[in-house]
Chains A and B, each alone.
Chain A
Amino acid sequence: MQFGIFSVGDVTPDPTTGRTPSERARIKAIVAIALKAEEVGLDVFATGEHHNPPFVPSSPTTMLGYIAARTERIVLSTATTLITTNDPVKIAEDYAMLQHLADGRVDLMMGRGNTGPVYPWFGQDIREGINLAKENYALLRRLWREDVVDWEGKFRTPLQGFTSTPRPLDGVPPFVWHGSIRSPEIAEQAAYYGDGFFHNNIFWPFDHTRRMVELYRRRYAFHGHGHPEQAIVGLGGQVFMRKNSQDAVREFRPYFDNAPVYGHGPSLEEFTEQTPLTVGSPQQVIERTLSFRESVGDYQRQLFLMDHAGLPLKTVLQQLDILGEEVVPVLRKEFAIDRPVNVPDAPTHGLLRDARAVTAE
């Protein structure tokens, strides 16, 4: 099982000091966080893609390419890549390029964006959101799998004799996750292709997550990719930890109360009860995270959101130390217990390359 972090990349004022980091400081902080993630032994770092303030990561492969050059082991991913408004040709090229630079340490999570205007900003129609996700992704798959593509669709100009370069590393396209919170269509899309399904449950009650994952697993089996329990599932989650749970609550409360995404609604207590947000001791985080398995079955990837609500970089790095030293090692051990042998690991470049070699023999 993989453990990692994902960053939304928001520039949020620290409510305890009133200070807002500059874009440069935030971008550098995201890099520092990614490097720290590798240092503390995490498996995955994923960056968001946004095209509106207060978010900075508009150019994920630039960021991930830079991080790739400064890391050795960690898998670089997205949370999420906008399959709706990006040209699938550019996605195919950018991420194949990144694959080569990062020696295969690349996968992607497809998503549909955080704001309505992103569609018209990129010349698309929001009412076609799901259709764009379907058609663009179908084209992306072909661009990675066929050397020469003739193609005609509804949403971009036709392609005649087009070859996307560079070709995917070792002829193995990056593994793709499909991220969605509330659209069953996306769970179906993931199931149809036998891709991964990531439920970013950070702002949603767990019962909803359970139902979406159940649907995905059932459809994954229906489409003949394996048993339901072999489907590739990822979950989000967000935590704030201190040795003492009361200290964690005391320190995080002003951040929670004022964060644009959390504050001015339910109390911290209500929110932690109804969503995966866990504010407390490392042990509480371990217990909460282990409980996810009871709802969705054995799964492949757990990503935590750590740099949220305007927390300063220093605090985030401390949080990553706790996550890497005290939480993830226990989670690795506990999740491995009673994990059925037929439940696969998260696909990596190496695993996919080996599987391809076996098929070719």
Chain B
Amino acid sequence: MNQTTRMNQATRMNRMNRMRLVAVSAGLSTPSSTRLLADRLVQSARYELAAQGHEVETHVVELRDLAVAVANNLVTGFPAPPLAAAIDAVTGAHGLIVVTPVFTASYSGLLKSFFDLIDPQALAGKPVLVAATGGTARHSLALDHALRPLFAYLRAAVVPTGVYAASEDWGSGGDSYAEGLPGRVQRAGGELAALMSRREGKEGTEEHADDVDDVDDDVAVLERQLSDLRFD
């Protein structure tokens, strides 16, 4: 085995273990408790993945920065370059953390608009952790009544623990009846990491086929169909 081959193999091994973890934060203020929660969840999942021997690459998509681009895409049908990059990051991630403020009993409209722009098949099977923030704990079921159905439609694999952080959670611990925010963050991050590891163990984390290769698979099927219609 020459040196180049060894190096290629090392790069390959490295890539095999490298996982992309992407968080989407739909908070609107700066600083934002939604972003704060996203960062905590990223940290927790990253820690667990690292403990399992994975190298982790993390990225946070701040939807606030893309608000105009999202609206423009809704009316033009195509994403401006920074939005296209965010969509690629989300669809190309091995695991996704989605955090939204609760507005009017649900996720924010900006979050929904962003996911409206993503191909409905693109998140199928992807491990997703859902989380939300709000003023009081009274809105916590928005996680299960709004966010879970959204990702169920997209056929993502949502981890069992969703994390809701009310304002008071940032200044209190748990009690004998319920876990505090840090405990929930840790549990949810662990669940996401476990799901990502399991899935990648099965499929391998090698770069998935890019656009063009996907298209090649599609056209091969189509070619057979066209031959079936062929007369000459």
* Chain A interface residues (CB < 8 Å from chain B): 134-135, 138, 141-142, 145-146, 184-185, 187-189, 192, 203-205, 208, 211, 214-215, 219, 264-266, 270-271, 274-275
A205 — nearest CB in chain B belongs to which residue? Answer: B78
* B232 lies within 8 A of chain A by Cβ: yes
Using known A-B contacts A138-B229, A192-B226, A211-B211, determine if residue A265 contacts B72 with beta carbons closer than 8 Å. yes
Using known A-B contacts A134-B226, A203-B77, A211-B212, determine if residue A270 contacts B232 with beta carbons closer than 8 Å. no
What are the residues of chain B within 8 A of A270 when measuring CB–CB?
Answer: 72, 80
Q: Judging by beta carbons under 8 Å apart, are B231 and A219 in contact?
A: no
Q: Which of A135, A189, A215, A264 contacts B215 (CB 8 A)?
A: A215
Q: Judging by beta carbons under 8 Å apart, are B232 and A215 in contact?
A: no
B84 — nearest CB in chain A belongs to which residue? Answer: A205
What are the residues of chain B within 8 A of A192 when measuring CB–CB?
Answer: 223, 226
Q: Which of A134, A141, A214, A274 contacts B80 (CB 8 A)?
A: A274
Consensus secondary structure, chain B interface:
helix
User: Scoring B residues 77 to 98 as 1 if CB is less than 8 Å from chain A, else 0, what string do you get?
Assistant: 1101100000000000000000
What are the residues of chain A within 8 A of B215 when measuring CB–CB?
Answer: 184, 215
Q: Judging by beta carbons under 8 Å apart, are A219 and B76 in contact?
A: no
Count B interface residues, CB 8 Å. Answer: 22
Q: Of residues 211 to 230 in B, which have CB atoms within 8 Å of A's CB atoms?
A: 211-212, 215, 218-219, 222-223, 225-226, 229-230
What are the residues of chain A within 8 A of B72 when measuring CB–CB?
Answer: 265-266, 270
Using known A-B contacts A145-B232, A211-B211, determine if residue A184 contacts B219 with beta carbons closer than 8 Å. yes
* B71 lies within 8 A of chain A by Cβ: yes
Q: Of residues 141 to 155 in B, which have CB atoms within 8 Å of A's CB atoms?
A: none
Using known A-B contacts A211-B211, A266-B72, A266-B76, determine if residue A184 contacts B229 with beta carbons closer than 8 Å. no
What are the residues of chain A within 8 A of B76 when measuring CB–CB?
Answer: 203, 265-266, 271
What are the residues of chain A within 8 A of B229 when measuring CB–CB?
Answer: 134-135, 138
CA distance A271 to B76 in the complex (A): 9
CA distance A145 to B232 in the complex (A): 10
* B75 lies within 8 A of chain A by Cβ: yes
What are the residues of chain A within 8 A of B226 when measuring CB–CB?
Answer: 134, 138, 188-189, 192
Q: Judging by beta carbons under 8 Å apart, are B223 and A188 in contact?
A: yes
Task: Count chain B CB atoms within 10 A of each CB in A134, A145, A146, A208 and give the residue with the most.
Answer: A134
B227 — nearest CB in chain A belongs to which residue? Answer: A192
Q: How far is the CB of A69 from chain B (nearest CB, A)?
A: 34
Q: How far is the CB of B83 from chain A (nearest CB, A)?
A: 11
CA distance A274 to B80 in the complex (A): 7
Q: How far is the CB of B71 from chain A (nearest CB, A)?
A: 7
Task: Count chain A CB atoms within 10 A of each CB in B71, B80, B81, B222 and give the residue with the most.
Answer: B222
What are the residues of chain A within 8 A of B219 when measuring CB–CB?
Answer: 184-185, 187-188, 215, 219
CA distance A145 to B231 in the complex (A): 10
Q: Judging by beta carbons under 8 Å apart, are A134 and B78 in contact?
A: no
What are the residues of chain B within 8 A of A146 when measuring CB–CB?
Answer: 231
Q: Which of A189, A208, A264 contacts B78 (CB 8 A)?
A: A208
CA distance A134 to B230 in the complex (A): 10
Q: Judging by beta carbons under 8 Å apart, are A138 and B78 in contact?
A: no
Q: A184-B215, A264-B75 are in contact. List 8 more A-B contacts (CB 8 A).
A: A134-B225, A138-B226, A138-B230, A188-B219, A188-B222, A215-B215, A265-B75, A274-B78
CA distance A98 to B25 in the complex (A): 58
A208 — nearest CB in chain B belongs to which residue? Answer: B78
What are the residues of chain A within 8 A of B218 when measuring CB–CB?
Answer: 184-185, 188
What are the residues of chain B within 8 A of A203 when measuring CB–CB?
Answer: 76-78
Q: Which of B81, B225, B231 contacts A142 (CB 8 A)?
A: B231
What are the residues of chain A within 8 A of B212 when measuring CB–CB?
Answer: 211, 214-215
CA distance A185 to B215 in the complex (A): 9
What are the residues of chain B within 8 A of A204 when measuring CB–CB?
Answer: 77-78
Pull 29 A–B residue pairs with CB atoms less than 8 Å apart, ordered by A: A134-B222, A134-B226, A138-B226, A138-B229, A138-B230, A138-B231, A142-B231, A145-B232, A146-B231, A184-B219, A185-B222, A188-B219, A188-B223, A189-B226, A192-B223, A204-B78, A205-B78, A215-B212, A215-B215, A264-B75, A265-B71, A265-B75, A265-B76, A266-B72, A270-B72, A270-B80, A274-B80, A274-B81, A275-B78
Q: Judging by beta carbons under 8 Å apart, are A189 and B222 in contact?
A: yes
What are the residues of chain A within 8 A of B81 when measuring CB–CB?
Answer: 274
Q: How far is the CB of A79 from chain B (nearest CB, A)?
A: 18
